[in-house]
Structure 1
Amino acid sequence: MTRIVADISVSLDGFVTGPDPGPDQGLGTGGEALHTWAFSDDPDDRRVLHEATVRSGAVVLGRRLFDLVDGPDGWDDETGYGAREAGRPAFVVVTSSPPASVRLGALDWTFVTTGLPDAVTAACERAGAASARDGKDLDVVLMGGGALIRSAFDAGLVDTLSLHLAPVLLGAGTPLFTGAAPRALVQRGAVPTTTATHLTYDVL
């Protein structure tokens, strides 16, 4: 069965970017520390990243994040979805205005202009097709940013929350959750490594 997984790195004080994120500094000041684990040689970090990447049938992201990964300093053949894993699932972008062109044209992009629920539906269809092709269950991954994941929680679209808790206090930035409605979670896994604690929760 296809799960909808919100997967994101977060600081100990709850931020998914540092202060002042922008086109030239997508993770904000100090925010690169959130993703140290993704480039770590710790075998448990590598395993967590690999397992998540190969389980991804389709990935949903917002337009701001798309602009960063498709920008001139974004993904390339060696560093992409899943960091050095550079996975190639289908990508579904939530946007009010599709881009005129895409630099990463070798990847499978779909642009949805009718809102997040429709984007998740499209991603489920793509993940279902990939599951049938590969003969195994694949997930829809909500990659972010933080506002997209908050909206997905508010809409009741998330089955599983996968947090990569980085040992850093950013002090400010983009919060993952703020003013969210109460929601019960059940912890299903915790993997501590030298660079992060990888936490998995079922969303009730």
Structure 2
Amino acid sequence: MTRIIADISVSVDGLVTGPDPDPDNGLGTGGEALHTWAFSDDPDDRRILREATAGSGAVVLGRRLFDVVDGPKGWNDDSGYGAREVGKPAFVVVTSSPPKSLRLTGLDWTFVTTGLADAVTAARERAEAASAGSGKDLDVVLMGGGLTIGSALNAGLIDVLSLHIAPVVLGTGTPLFTGEAPHTLVQRSVTSTSTATHLIYDVVT
């Protein structure tokens, strides 16, 4: 069964970027500390990253995050979704208009202009097709940014919330939760390393 999983790194004070994020500095000032765990040699950090990316049949991201990862200082062979870990899933971008050009032409991009729910539906179809081809259940992963994940949570589109809480307080930046609606979660696992506390919740309401 294909699940919709929101997976994102966050500070102790609930921020997914530092202040002043832009396409050349997508995580904002100090925001790199949120993703230290993804480059860690800790076996639990490596396992969590490997399992998450290996289970991804399709990935959803917002246009602002796309502009960062496709920008000149964005993803490369050593830094990107599943880099050094797995093959590359399909990517679905929520946007008002597709970009005029792509730097990362080697990835499978779909641009959806009719809203987040339609983007999740398109990603589910891609993940289900990938599941059929691989013989195992693969999921849709919402990797961000924060506004995309927050909107999906408020719209009831998410089955699982996977948070990687970095031991840093950023003070200001982009919040993950905006307080628009309450949600009930069921905690499924907690894994602590020196670089993050990895939490997985089922989203009930």
TM-score range, shorter chain: over 0.9
Match of 1:138 in 2: 138
TM-score (norm 2): 0.97
Compared with structure 1, are the counterparts of its residues 40 and 143 closer, same or farther at alpha carbon in structure 2 (3 Å cutoff)? Answer: same
Q: Helix, strand or coil: the match of 1:16?
A: strand
Match of 1:71 in 2: 71
Match of 1:39 in 2: 39
Q: Which moved more, 1:100-109 or 1:82-91?
A: 82-91
Tell me the CA shift for residue 82 of structure 1: 3.0
Tell me the CA shift for residue 84 of structure 1: 3.9
Distance in structure 2 (CA, Å) of the matches to 1:166 and 1:6: 17
Q: Helix, strand or coil: the match of 2:163?
A: strand
Compared with structure 1, are the counterparts of its residues 57 and 115 closer, same or farther at alpha carbon in structure 2 (3 Å cutoff)? Answer: same
- The gaps in structure 2 that reach 5 residues or longer are none
Match of 1:101 in 2: 101
Alignment of 1:12-91 (within 5 A): 12-85=12-85, 87-91=87-91
CA contact (8 A) 1:81 1:87 kept: no
CA contact (8 A) 1:3 1:159 kept: yes
Q: Which moved more, 1:78-87 or 1:64-73?
A: 78-87
Distance in structure 2 (CA, Å) of the matches to 1:159 and 1:113: 23
Q: Helix, strand or coil: the match of 2:85?
A: coil
- The gaps in structure 1 that reach 5 residues or longer are none
CA contact (8 A) 2:50 2:86 kept: no
Percent identical: 78
Counting matched residue pairs gives 204
Compared with structure 1, are the counterparts of its residues 179 and 33 closer, same or farther at alpha carbon in structure 2 (3 Å cutoff)? Answer: same
- What is the letter of the counterpart of residue 111 of structure 1? F
Match of 1:193 in 2: 193
Compared with structure 1, are the counterparts of its residues 83 and 174 closer, same or farther at alpha carbon in structure 2 (3 Å cutoff)? Answer: farther
Q: RMSD over aligned Cα, in angstroms?
A: 0.9
Distance in structure 1 (CA, Å) of the matches to 2:24 and 2:122: 30
CA contact (8 A) 1:39 1:84 kept: no
Q: Which runs of 4+ in 1 moved over 4 A?
A: none
Compared with structure 1, are the counterparts of its residues 107 and 164 closer, same or farther at alpha carbon in structure 2 (3 Å cutoff)? Answer: same
CA contact (8 A) 1:13 1:171 kept: yes
- What is the letter of the counterpart of residue 119 of structure 2? A
CA deviations over 1:70-117 (Å, ceiling 9, x no partner): 111111122210354364000000000101111111110000000000
Match of 2:111 in 1: 111
TM-score (norm 1): 0.98
